[in-house]
Structure 1
């Protein structure tokens, strides 16, 4: 198998596994959804089956605590996002939102795969795209698994400034997408098409 496809599989699967594992830990430790479920199978069933109806707080899984990593700057707190990144389109009706996200997610996978296949895998200047595209792909698939399982994405990373300003909650998949997109922006500058050399003038 060519080296570039080894990188694609390793990074993509690594992001998916890390993303789903951290979400599992968050649901287990920060919500009541897995309370009383002793076996791993029962806990996974509680996480990947149809969620219970929304409670009074608008959440399907009910929070029981949060973790202050840095009191004035960062915490781990369970959140649900039925929309896209930063909550975009969350107010669309489910009958419209669901098909839209399926089309967008599958389209992103096809587009990323198409551009990745065009990489040679041997050009040092391709390194930003070689690693950036799998990060974006892994992040997109990680969140897509959430949408397939329960129609909303689990977020839990919350950055804030003394609770006066806050960045929208996000997860490992979102972070991988942001890092990957950043690497692709670097790639766009590094691999600018070199102008064709002008033919040398014939000596008189």
Structure 2
């Protein structure tokens, strides 16, 4: 039986979803500056095809270190799941989702030299005139499913910290 099977299920399913959505974006949307938006749910969810050669908020833009960090993190997580102890269920889901995101964005960085992003959540609405003139409004960055899976993985890991461990099954 495969050790840490939920890890592998989460990693493979997340990677497939990420790759399929990015392929869909590249094949069906036009990359423009500024990006053209397709409204899915007005004010809440839009599609906007952009490329990002950095990390979140453009950190380390243009640096090749991100591709190697993605590869290193991916190899380390796979080795740990394969050779390490049996993880608790929340750990398996969490680390598997983190792996799917690291692999998804890592593949983009190695193959394309940048990451394909397309999910825009413009739910922060600034009415005019601004009722809070001393408040700085920021535009949340456009992201992809790999980013979603990394964050969901972290949430699973945090939940796992506060959950009771899986009870071992009786071997009799």
- For the superposition of Structure 1 and Structure 2, which TM-score range results when normalised by the shorter chain? 0.7 to 0.9
- Residue of structure 2 equivalent to 1:119: 85
**Normalization by structure 1: what TM-score?**
0.66
Name the residue aligned to 1:149. Answer: 111
Q: Deviations over 1:28-76 (max 9, x none)?
A: 22117xxxxxxxxxxxxxxxxxxxxxx8x48xxxx6x431012222201
Runs of 4 or more consecutive aligned structure 1 residues displaced over 4 Å after TM superposition: none
Q: Which has the higher contact order (CA 8 A, sep 6+)?
A: 2
Match of 2:132 in 1: none
Task: Give the 3 Å change call, closer, same or farther, for CA 110–188 of structure 1 in structure 2.
Answer: farther
Q: Structure 2: how far apart are the matches of 1:162 and 1:120?
A: 42
Unmatched runs of 5 consecutive residues or more in structure 2 = 127-137, 166-172
**1:115 Cα offset (Å):** 4.1
How many residues in Structure 1 have an aligned counterpart in Structure 2? Answer: 153
Q: Are 1:119 and 1:130, in contact at CA under 8 Å, matched by a contact in 2?
A: no
**1:47-196 to 2 correspondences below 5 Å:** 57=33, 65-90=36-61, 94=62, 97-98=63-64, 100-116=65-81, 117-120=83-86, 126-161=88-123, 163-164=125-126, 165-190=138-163
Query: Which structure has the larger Rg?
Result: 1
Q: CA RMSD in A?
A: 2.4
User: Does the 8 A contact of 2:6 with 2:93 survive in 1?
Assistant: yes
TM-score by length of 2: 0.77
